[in-house]
Structure 1
Amino acid sequence: MPTRYRYYTATTLDGFLADDSDSLDWLFAHDVDEQGFLNIGEFMAGVGALVMGATTYEWVTGHLAGTGAPWPYDGTPTFVFTHRDQTPIAETVEIVTGAPAEWRAELEEAAAGRDVWVVGGGGLAADFAAADMLDEILVSIAPVTLGAGRPLFGGPFELQLLEFGRNRDFLCARYAVIGPLDVIGKSATG
């Protein structure tokens, strides 16, 4: 089975990952069943490598700072796509520049036959989709709106709903990424 690229995330009902201050307080205010539909444990069991953008990396490292907590993805190769000056927080973190396609071979080698988790943000996920390197979007939708913030996904893409369900406060769905939309709103791939 070829390596799958999967964007697993949570969003507000109006399509934001974080507020204008990059806060996720809205997310942690809602109840989720750690064993429920589309739970992180089952998802992570299939993950061999992670990719994230600089803002996501900075959010994670910022929340670890001063806590003494280890890198939460220790043992899983992590590629941080950025043009910013970043310092790896763990031996498994690699800071990279360039387009996703330039790193495909390294990502798939690191994943060792398992999935690549596109952690975020929405712009990076769209970059992977534009490079034909995003197979699925798994999203948990919280019952809250922000009105502004970091968007869930950047760019027009056609998706196909594969499954959906409820995990306590969240509506969860898994979509296949079909391809980019053309200017009249039809899939450019079919």
Structure 2
Amino acid sequence: MARVIYNTASTLNGFIADEKNSLDWLFEVESADGGDLESFIHRIGVLVEGSTTYEWVLRQERLLEEPHKWAGFYGDRPTFVFTSRDLPVPDGADVRFVCGPVADALPAIIDAAGERDVWVVGGGELAGQFLDAGALDEIQVSIAPAAVDGGAPLLPRAVGARTLSLRRVEQRGQFAHLSYDVRKG
């Protein structure tokens, strides 16, 4: 059965992007060798992201101009993008636009994942919607030794301590990587 995992990086003060939707703070941090990400990606069957995340990746990596790079990031995995707008798709990419509540799209997402997991790439509001729908199984966050003045919060929800159970803490380069199971009910 597919697990739904929100895996992201955050500043020390809880933001996944600054006020300009920039991740410059993230790229300034010395990271580990990437082996952990490769292992994580291997278990993923579907990626899910909001339109802000999707558009940032398109711009940052110039994927519309260089669509061959899509496979390097996503492989042949379907990517579900929650949006109410028409957005461009890189040639050859399996991008599926969905609109409406997470609960309505969840059966198609889980079906597309097959026996593999679902990665909620971002943003925090979308991850919060998965949590609200009772569909989020795990939160993994890599805390960077950086802080910003404001921006997009990691998880814009009040989440009580009884909801999350710490599973693992690891050092990955200059990041503290935390894994939490989400308790249901």
Q: Give unmatched runs, 5+ long, in structure 1.
A: 180-188
- Opposite residue 56 of structure 1, the aligned amino acid is T
More helix per residue: 2
2:57 corresponding residue in structure 1: 60
**2: CA distance between counterparts of 1:100 and 1:88?**
21
What pairs with 1:156-175 in structure 2 (closer than 5 Å)? 156-157=158-159, 158-175=163-180
Gaps of at least 5 residues in structure 2 are none
CA distance in 2, matches of 1:52, 1:175: 20
Partner of 2:155: 153
Deviation at residue 93 of structure 1 after TM alignment: 0.6
**Alpha-carbon offset, residue 16 of structure 1:** 0.3
Question: 1:91-127 CA distances to partner (integer Å, 9 max, x unpaired)?
Answer: 3111110111111111111101110000000000000
Shift of 1:85: 2.2
Deviation track 1:142-184 (CA, whole Å, cap 9, x = no partner) reads 01110201100121223111110101111111001125xxxxx
> What is aligned with 2:69?
70
TM-score, normalisation: structure 1: 0.88
Is residue 80 of structure 1 aligned with residue 81 of structure 2? Answer: yes
> Conserved in 2, the CA contact under 8 Å of 1:87 and 1:95?
no
TM-score of the aligned structures, taking structure 2 as reference length: 0.90
Tell me if the contact between 1:88 and 1:94 (Cα under 8 Å) persists in the aligned partners: no
In the alignment, structure 1 residue 44 sits paired with structure 2 residue 46: no
CA RMSD of aligned residues (A): 1.5
> Runs ≥4 in structure 1, deviation > 6 angstroms?
none
SS in 2 for 1:48: strand
Describe the SS at the equivalent of 2:69.
coil
Partners of 2:108 and 2:177 in 1: how far apart?
A: 31
Percent pairwise identity: 42
